[in-house]
Structure 1
Amino acid sequence: MNLYPFIPMRRARYRLKPVSLILIAGLVALPLLTPAAGATEIDEPYPIGRVLTPETAARKDAPDMVRMQVSHFSQPNQNDAIIMPTVRAFQKAFGRDHFYAEVFSGERINPKKTDLVLSSAGTYRRAADVGSRDIGSLVSDRFPDPNHAEGSVFVVRKGNRTYQSLKDLKGLRLVTSGPKAFTGYQVAMGELLREGINPDRFFSDQIVKLNDMPSVVTALRKGEADVGVLRTCFLEDMAAEGKDISDLAVVGAKPETKDFRCVRSTALYPNWTVTITPHATPDVARLAASTLLSMKPIPGNLHWGMATDFTPVDTLFKELKIGPYEYLRHWTLRRFLSEYWPFLTLFIAAVIGLLLHSVRSDRLVERRTRELTKAYAKQKELEERTRRANEHLAALQKNGMIGQMSSMVVHELRQPLATIVNYVQSLLRLSDMHRPNSEAMMQKGLTTIRSEALKADEIVTKVRDYAKRSSGSDTRTVIDLTELVNRSVANLEDSSSYRTPIHSDIRPGCLIEGDRLEIEVAVVNLIKNALEAADRKGGSDARVSVVLDRFETADGESIRLTIENTGDVLTKERLESLGYATKSAKPEGLGLGLAIVRTIIQNHSGSIAFNPREAGGLAVTVTIPAPSHPIS
């Protein structure tokens, strides 16, 4: 009988004995004596609700009663032989009057009503979350490895269509023992998942024959379903009892192994397991474990050992999202956090990073805005200072030029006017010596000339007086030359009109007596000339130095101002013309600047000297006597 329709059978290499021939003849004749192929009636020795210890049924809820539940298993099942010997062993260990056992559906263990449970590994692991612990697993010659003893098979009726793999079953009608059946449903669905198939959408319909695998076979044979799920060895057990299974074929059959000889379509899981619940006392648990492991084997070498790996069952439940992992089928906060915590962690970290970056960016923008605002305010202040300095310099230049030009005009015109006046007076005296008629006319003309000349002199005098009033130099005062030179240097630097830097060495307490406006005009003109000359020459070594100090002379203390600049080498003619009104070296100049400066210095009893530098440029030294006594 080939249960592996797509795997070649091994050829038998032994001689049949007479006894074997009789057994085979009996098996062949058996179908004639049994119900038709469509019938699968099988005795049910352990139906749900059967009490296995009738003597204690009346007092099953007594406080001193040790209660045991035995899971209902689909028939036929060769493992059933271990049930009653196990019950009797516990009766002997705990006392016949203190032990109660019954058969339950196996769907859910209630730890508050039972102490011991005999069930599949699936039923045990579904109760692991309430504290149940295994104390023994079934071992036999048929299943020598308790870790790999149970599985499932996909069964179809043989016909015209051949199913090579599990994927060929798509769209068929499925019949099973129910969604809670471990090997009758859950193991098979887990295998589909491993094949990359979603079992919830794979079949067109699912029919349930609750806890009744023979009815699964009947449904297949009657055409109610196209494919069924049975536990491993179920077909072999039917054949052993003489049932005809020649019309059935297994889909996705896996090769035999030395420790498992039944046909299978799935991976294997631990065998039947006895568990102890949290309701049991430690003494009950100790005695139950020792009783199980000390039981003598029964025929078929059925006995209790220890399975060591229930991880595949837990993995199966997690993949199917059933049992302890039922919550994975529902989007709860727990599941969301459990499945997506790495992504949540990254997301939260990213959000925190963005927030920190945003805060940091805001602070940087804030700080940069403050810096820019401060820089802008400072720039505006510098521009205002530059404007005021330029206005002040222009006013100085204008006032100084007016004052000095007025002085020059007066100086130049006084002598011609005086001569005219003298000649007119002489002519008037001569007129007294001529005749009266001609003399009257001459006297009238000469009088007019004299009057006009006096008027011109008066005009010149008024211009002179206006220049003096404009410059504010009506009286002389003590001038703090240190402060004046420092302010002049600062004003020129603030004006941003020159590229050449100014290096100053100003000694404090340098005082002179004179007109402050005129002295400032002179100082500013000298420093401006030095800056302009250095800018025209240019170069990395361009510089202007301003030095102010005091020194002693034979006549007393004097103040010395030295202004030195880099520049072109001066010719002898150019050097001799400095300080006099000549053509300016600057295209826009009038040639009056240094002449005005010389006049101002001389008016303050001082001297000015121009000394050429060997490397080019000029050193101007101004010397003015310090006041000999305080001026009020």
Structure 2
Amino acid sequence: MFRRARKILALSAVLAFWIAPFVGAAQPTEIRVGVLAYLGLEEAESAWEPTLAYLNATLPGYRFTMVAGNVAFLTAAVAAHRLDFLITNPGHYLELKIDYSASALATEQDLDGFASGESVGAAVVALDRRKDLQHLTDLRGLKLAAVAPDAFGFRAASRELQDRGVDPLKDVSPVFVGYPAGGVLDALRSGRADAGIIRSCLLEKLIGQGKADADEFKVLGRKPTDIATCQVSTRLYPGWAFVKVAQTSAPLADAVTRALLGMQPGPGDKIWTEPNDYQTVQELYRSLKVGPYAPFTRLGMADLLWPYRYAAALVGMAALWWVSHVIRVAQIIRRRTRELEEAHELARLKDAKMEHAMRLSLMGEMASSLAHEINQPLASILSYARGCERRLAHGEDVDGVREAIGRIAVQAERAGDIVHRMREFVRKNPARQEPLEPAAMFRDALALFEPSAAAHELRVKAEVPDSLPPVLADRVQIEEVTLNLLQNALEAVDGQPEKRVRLVVTQEGSSIVVAVSDNGPGLSPAARERLFEAFHTTKPGGLGLGLSLSRSIVEAHGGRLSADENAQRGATFRFYLPIAQNEAQENVQERALV
């Protein structure tokens, strides 16, 4: 019945996930739960997925996802603040509690009914045919396989070996095979080790799954326990913990705790109880002097400092704290500075690509008109050239030929000027701000826009005085902004009985003001609200980048871009550019004199 109820809850969660976008519900917040995968990723998913599925169904505002890995991986993820909760063994939890201020919300307990304080231990196993191995003391001088030196099973077995006078690192030769734990049994089968350390009940589980024969292995130094189905060689310790990391909010932790303690699992699933004391785990680590209780190395000048040991210890602790603090702060600053620089560089490259895309889009919109404009001087050149051929063929009118050749040169220069302006505009050069004369810059932009305007039977009324002071700007970028505003105005007046677009450049205080106005339909309230938002467009097939990038370009020049409704009809876009300082003005004047 419990499995059926859980499936109904999971199905409800899936339906809610798919229906939410249509009813306007907010997307659930992702919660990352680290899981210690001592038997591999597939086994971890199989063992703990029911718990996460239950949490997803019980707390629909969150989406709990599993992040499986070994002890080192999960510890690094906690240090990097990439996890919200963990499900891990008691030894790993103790280290996280001391090093990273983690706390246990619940303790895992099997449905078989064993106390949560006596759920986890280790079994020292050997091949059943090894008649010379019966007790833990028989391991002296032999090879002992384990998952890793920081594995909880290895440390639990190390305590039992020490109690019997066997040093697990000196009197035996450890062979660490890594995760998953099934590799320990493989090491025994291949002869790479004489005995191995595995988690309690793992041997029975592998036998039940058909991955080991019932008479293939035996357990050394068996201890009597209440776990009738499992053989162990060590003391029993509290079960696995559901752990909250330090940065996880208290309300979320309380909600998860209530959900875990109220969980009604099916047969074979995990059950969660109140968090255990884990005092026995602390005693284990303290007796082995491992993890948080590893001793400091004795310094060579200990005898010299012994008379001043208290003062030296105080000074040394203060110095050590200060040095570690300085190193840590320096590393954090260096890492965050590097991340910030990388983020800025990526943003700059992205903006440059988007700006170039907008420039190409503008040129694409005006391509037909520019092609027509270039075709006129080419047609004139061809006509003059044919006339010269005919006159030269008859050997007459030498002056007429000379005049025609001059006109050919004029038309060729005209076509070359158009191509040059197009090439300079679409070229992807790095932005470079330099003192520029506004009059020449805006007249070049008008000349580039003229073919497009002529194709739509529009004459732009321009007021660009020659007496304007210079500005510090990138010519191509400012021309890009001007062309974008003119193109928008052209599209706004297209279809109007009388088309009017006006470009006015004036000086107001310490700024040059460029205003592009039209007599189009104006701006609706909805359009004004998202006017400068990236990827928002009202034009079919538009990129939605023009006004957003134009504002970014103007702001990068120290100015601003705004839009207003006209009193009668249409809209006016204005952007302001700061006037260059006196030194820049003098440079412009010197270039003009030269």
Return the TM-score normalized by structure 2.
0.43
Q: Which has the larger radius of gyration?
A: 1
Report the TM-score when normalising by structure 1. 0.40
